[in-house]
Amino acid sequence: MIRALLALAALLALAGCGRTTSVREPDLVVRGDQAVAARPSPDQPSRGLRITSTRIAVITHGQASDPIWAVVKRGIEDAGRSQNVAVSYRAPDTYDIERMRELVEEAIADRPDGLVVSLPDASALGSAIRDAERAGIPVVTINSGSDEFKQLGVEIHVGQPEYEAGVKAGERMAAAGVRHALCVNHESGNDGLSERCLGFAKGLAGRGGTSDTLAIDLQDTMDAQRAIAQALSGGDVDGIMTLGAAAAAPALAALRASGFERRVKLATFDLSNDVLRAIEEKRLLFAIDQQPYLEGYLPIVLLAERARHGIFPQAGGLIPTGPRFVTSANVAEAIRLSRQGVR
């Protein structure tokens, strides 16, 4: 009897430790703490002892190669530990909206207490998100989708208002003397990135500038570098705005190879070690920080409180995590925090 009680106490302690499980494709995901039993289907009642915990599933479109998603995951993991909830994280290996939709449907079938989804394509993911809502699963969207989430009726969106961030980026580029810029889009079809380019064009136009959109594929970085270099060859481009830290690398390489580093100003959305170093060395004008740590951290806290205590912010709102600008004036602080994994 005593041994049985000790074993039960150990199992209960394990169930409350708030672990996060992250699995890339094509492996199967293990959702939450190993001690958390899968929920039975309505027609299959549970038998015997079940150890339960608040369980939250996170599905994003982010690739492991993009540094922003490492920071998002750090926020998710820290929140899981602080809230003692079981969190799973899944994402396609490449930018694949159809596979992402399938992952959302699989998460719904597991009936978590909450679902966190990035929203790069509201049209393609809308049906899956509505399926979650019909199943009684509260949904929080993050990252992309700040201009589309309301049409889906989700609980709340945590992320940067993309169009507004683009406008401010365009205004800054124009103030730096840029008159004709490229907006380099590395994920064609991502609504959030499209909004960034639209806002960027608006910000430039307000000060007499113009911009063109250039699509690149980061699966082939050398081809991406060549595409940017070719766009610069006409001689009329004096600014480049990349829409992610991973896209800044081929842009920097193209400027270096073409000899246009002094003539063409470069800025980017999102941070990475290379981006911060380039700002410090004044090879990059500025970077826009959407604070991805908060995009990972806040939804877990909000959904945990909703599941446990029934409290939640006003439904249908936006929690804006950006834009915040990193320049040579404040880059030292950003570098210090990036070493801690939160910038």
Identify which of 4-13, 46-55, 301-310 has the greatest average pLDDT.
301-310
* CATH architecture of the domain formed by 162-289: 3-Layer(aba) Sandwich (3.40)
Q: Are 262 and 44 in contact (CB under 8 A)?
A: no
Pairing of the two strands 210-215 and 239-242: unpaired
Query: Of 263 and 11, which is predicted with more confidence?
Result: 263
The CA distances from residue 99 to 94, 119, 168, 246, 338, in Å, are 9, 13, 33, 22, 31
Would you kindly state where each structural domain of the chain is located, as residue ranges?
Answer: 19-35+51-160+292-322, 162-289
| Vertex 178 angle, CA 173 and 180, to 5° | 115
Kindly tell me if the per-residue pLDDT of 20 is higher than 60: no
User: Does residue 51 have a pLDDT over 70?
Assistant: no
CB neighbours (10 Å) of residue 31?
22
Instruction: Spell out the residues 6+ positions from residue 100 whose beta carbon is closer than 8 angstroms to its own.
Output: 59, 60, 61, 91, 92, 125
Residue 209 neighbours by CB distance under 10 Å:
21
Measure the CA dihedral 286/169/293/298, to 10°: 160
Tens of pLDDT, residue by residue over 93-151, are 889 999 999 999 999 999 999 999 999 999 999 999 999 999 999 999 999 999 889 99
Cα dihedral angle (129, 270, 183, 119), rounded to 10 degrees? 0
Q: Mean pLDDT for the chain?
A: 87
Q: Compare 169 and 6 and report the one with higher pLDDT.
A: 169
Which range has the worst mean pLDDT, 25-29, 147-151, 193-197, 243-247?
A: 25-29
Q: For residue 42, what are the β-bridge partners?
A: none
Partner residues linked to 265 by β-bridges: 239
Mean pLDDT of 229-247: 95
The DSSP line for 212-246 is EEEE--TTSHHHHHHHHHHHHTTS---EEEESSHH
Q: Taking the model in full, what pTM does it have?
A: 0.83
Do the domains spanning 19-35+51-160+292-322 and 162-289 agree at the CATH topology level? yes
- CA angle (149, 27, 89) in 5-degree steps: 35
Average pLDDT over residues 10-19: 45
Q: At what angle do helices 122-134 and 97-109 cross, to 10 degrees?
A: 0
Say yes or no to pLDDT of 15 above 80.
Answer: no
Q: What is 19-35+51-160+292-322's CATH number, 3.40.50.2300, 1.10.260.40, 1.25.40.10, 3.40.50.150?
A: 3.40.50.2300
- Looking at the predicted structure, is the pLDDT value of residue 11 above 90? no
Give the model's pLDDT for residue 26: 43
In angstroms, the CA 242 to CA 251 distance is 8
CA angle centred on 92, ends 288 and 36, rounded to 5°? 105
**% residues pLDDT > 90 (the chain):** 77
